Amino acid sequence: MRSVTDGRCRSQISFLRRQFLQDEGLPFGDVLSAKTLSTALATIEGGWVDRIYTPLTTLWVFLGQVLSADHSCRAAVARLIAHRVAGGESRCSAETGAYCQARKRLPEAFFAEAVRETGRSLDAQAKKEWLWKGRRVRMFDGSTVTMPDTAANQAEYPQTIQSKPGAGFPIARLGVISSLCTGAVLNLGFCPYAGKGTGEVTLLQRLWGVLAEGDVLLTDCKLGTWKEILTLKRRGIDFVSRMNRAHRSADFRLGQRLGKEDHIVQWSKPSSIRTIDWPTYHALPDWLTVREARVRITTPGFRTKEIIVVTTLLDPKQYPKEDLAELYRARWNQELDLRSIKTTMQMDVLRCKTPELVRKEAWTHLLAYNLIRTVMAQAAAKHGVLPRTLSFKGAIQTLEAFQPLIAQIGPRNRSRRSHFYQELIDAIATHRVADRPDRFEPRRKKKRKAPYDLLMKSRAETKLDILKGVSKN
């Protein structure tokens, strides 16, 4: 592996940084720094003999692949050929085999470290006015992705038990911890969709090492369990969630009254906790102090008419009930972020045929997502607005349009490149979004699906039935 001080390696780092406005002098211009890329490159063991598909070139091609509307490897290699020819280099082969092998050789830790480093760096540079009461709020939520129906994918991420063999797709559950103010992804977890140790609580426990003392964790009602709240509180991390009424109920006649339908109560320890042994269980305190506040919702179109917010933020003066309600309302941003990743960036259906490459593909999507969030933060800082007020889809469309122009500008032409950067940032800042949590739409579909029957057998069996003249699945 070449040293990061090598001239060719420095040139590739500089080119990769320029593609995402990471030149010196711009705000947030060191999120994708040489140090970050060096940390990721340090995960690669042994040598690297490929002269064309070096680790950084492979990463750049992979990023372009996940950002493009055409996710095929052929289109990705074609973009590399165009870049090499435009730069006066010889054309490489249009075959995709070398590129696919280069992706396979890069360790998963290379992509994971790049995502975590860029997420941490972006969030650490967030402006004070972007924070919630001077606190960094982290959000956690889970989702699912599907992938090609190969034997390797099915073995590690089996399809649901309701699907017949050959008629379903491998499905994985993922959990994401992200920043409320910038939207940066801080960590990602992967596990099978069903089975022991595959729930969102387990995923959160694997990922919460990125949380630091003084953070506030914002989650949905599934994560508000006694043991998890206690563990976070002991680490100095506050918790805000919605009460899970399937396990607890609130009685506002009890506890220390703070205001109307707002009190501090003691939650008794559960009779048993399956994830810990008896000695550890008996060492836990018998009570956990939490705050409960009921919030009534009168907005037309909302299904939920009232919620009970559960939190360890006990001071009613510093954290009024109304502010807690607004903070929990902001959790909707996590849903929008996951929609941006899965729908706008087309990560809902992954395309690689082995579990390791599937995870690398997911990490690469999130690296591209963090870099786009960085460009949005630059636009927000320049125009004095919050990053959450800018459109993610507008940013990705604008960046995609400008990137070929930026790639053609040489590293020494700083004035022209700076002009393009400013024009790009100004264009992104014009795409604003409104106060989205109060929007609502009827939960009905207008567009009809194509009138095809569902595939209830494997494709091979169904093709044999067609040859035999059997029309049913």
Domain coordinates of the chain in residue numbers? Answer: 220-330
Determine if residue 469 is left, alpha or beta; phi over 0 gives left, psi from -120 to 50 gives alpha, anything else beta.
left
Distance CA 83, CA 299 (A): 52
Query: Phi/psi zone of residue 197: left (φ > 0), alpha (ψ -120 to 50 degrees), beta?
Result: left
Angle, alpha carbons 429-434-435 (nearest 5°): 130
User: Which two three-digit tokens encode residue 333?
Assistant: 């941003």
Question: pLDDT tens, 22-64?
Answer: 665 566 666 777 777 777 778 887 666 667 888 888 888 898 8
Average pLDDT on 234-262 reads 89
Angle at 451 between CA 449 and CA 456, to 5 degrees: 100
User: Which sign, positive or negative, has the C-alpha torsion 121, 382, 332, 147?
Assistant: negative
pLDDT mean over 109-134: 92
Is 407 exposed, middle or buried, given 0-12, 13-18 or 19+ CB atoms closer than 10 A?
Answer: middle
Q: State how far Cα 138 lies from the chain centre.
A: 12
DSSP string, 260-297: TTEEEEEEEPPS--TTS-HHHHHHS-SEEEEEEEEEE-
Sequence-distant contacts of 355-358: CB under 8 A, at least 24 apart: 355/152, 355/153, 355/155, 355/156, 355/157, 356/104, 356/108, 357/103, 357/104, 358/147, 358/153, 358/157, 358/172
Give the pLDDT confidence score for residue 376 in this predicted structure.
Answer: 93
Cα–Cα distance, 456 to 208 (Å, whole number): 40
Alpha carbon 281 to its chain's center? 34
Query: Residue 179 belongs to what H/E stretch?
Result: strand 171-179
Tens of pLDDT, residue by residue over 303-336, are 657 889 999 999 999 999 999 999 998 998 999 9
Q: Cα–Cα distance between 259 and 322 in angstroms, integer?
A: 11
Answer for the pair 381, 130: CB distance below 8 angstroms, yes or no: no
Question: Residue 360 CA to chain centroid, in angstroms?
Answer: 13
pLDDT at residue 451 greater than cutoff 80: no
What pLDDT, on the 0 to 100 scale, is given for residue 5?
46
Q: Give yes or no for a contact between 373 and 122, defined as CB atoms under 8 angstroms apart.
A: yes
pLDDT for position 130:
94
Find the helix or strand (DSSP H, E) in which 156 lies. helix 151-156
- What pLDDT is recorded for position 391? 93
pLDDT in tens, 327-353: 998 998 999 999 999 999 999 999 999
- DSSP states along 354-406: SHHHHHHHHHHHHHHHHHHHHHHHHHHHHHT--GGGB-HHHHHHHHHHHHHHH
Rg (CA), the chain: 25
The answer to whether 398 and 424 are in contact (CB under 8 A) is yes
pLDDT of residue 445: 77
pTM: 0.88
The candidate with the shortest Cα–Cα distance to 99, out of 52, 147, 48, 44, is 52
pLDDT of residue 313: 95
pLDDT band at 448 (very low <50, low <70, confident <90, very high): confident
Mean of per-residue pLDDT scores for the chain: 86
**pLDDT band, residue 450 (cuts 50/70/90):** confident
**Residue 2 predicted with pLDDT over 60:** no
**Average pLDDT for 385-393:** 92
- The rounded percent of the chain whose pLDDT value lies above 70 is 91
More confident residue, 251 or 414: 251
Residue 46: predicted pLDDT: 66
Q: What is the pLDDT of residue 34?
A: 73
Question: What per-residue confidence (pLDDT) applies to 71?
Answer: 87
- Contact present, 396 and 64 (Cβ < 8 Å): no
Identify the CA nearest to 309 among candidates 269, 270, 263, 257.
263
**What is the number of alpha carbons within 13 Å of residue 171 lying toward its C-beta?**
15
Q: Please, which residues have CB within 8 angstroms of residue 143's CB and are 6 or more apart in sequence?
A: 173, 174, 176, 338, 342
Token duo for residue 54? 């070096």
Q: What is the pLDDT of residues 269-302, one digit of tens each?
A: 888 887 788 888 888 899 999 999 998 877 665 5
Q: What is the mean pLDDT of residues 138-153?
A: 93
For the ranges 1-5, 70-74, 112-116, the lowest mean pLDDT is seen at 1-5
Q: How confident is the model over 421-425, as a mean pLDDT?
A: 88
pLDDT at position 162: 84
> Is 362:113 a contact under the CB 8 Å cutoff?
no
